[in-house]
Amino acid sequence: MITTYHSPHVVSVAVFGEFTLADYKEFEEVVNYKVQFEGPLNVLIDLRQMIGFTVDVAWEEIKFSRRHSRDFSRIAVLTENQWVTWSAWITQFFVDAEVQVFFEEADARAWVEGAEEPTQ
């Protein structure tokens, strides 16, 4: 299950339990809408409560990242899991964005929301 919140040029997503393809599609819809009307976005992805993800999510994430390689300015990943940290590092190869991993929500939110309007 996911929850999403968005403000101008920012999308925040929190994942709870298993991250499914339906959840990822919900995230995609929000991003597609925001990019269409606002341009490049900053994203905060909170994965602290995620217990896992389905294989189809991993594949969809690769396809989505390639289609939207220039639609993100900053991506903050909030996690304490080393595997997720490694995955975030790999994501940098697919998107033209700054990607950082955070352990504290306030730090991640300040970095994403404190940025001026995304440029690209």
49: domain CATH number? 3.40.50.10600
The pLDDT of residue 95 is 72
What's the pLDDT tens digit per position in 5-54? Answer: 989 999 999 999 998 999 999 999 999 999 999 999 999 999 999 888 88
Instruction: Characterize 86-112 residue by residue with b for buried, 16 or more Cβ atoms within 10 angstroms of its Cβ, and e for exposed.
Output: ebbeebeebbebebbbbeeeeebbebb
What range defines the domain where residue 26 resides? 2-114
Q: Across residues 70-80, what is the average pLDDT?
A: 89
The pLDDT of residue 28 is 92
Give the global pTM: 0.83
75 in a domain, yes or no?
yes
120 in a domain, yes or no?
no
Q: Is the pLDDT of residue 90 over 60?
A: no
Number of domains into which the chain is organized:
1
Q: Which residue has the higher pLDDT, 35 or 90?
A: 35
Q: Is the pLDDT of residue 94 over 90?
A: no
103 in a domain, yes or no?
yes
Indicate the DSSP class of residue 109: H
Q: Which residue has the higher pLDDT, 59 or 27?
A: 27
Provide the mean pLDDT of the chain: 84
16 in a domain, yes or no?
yes
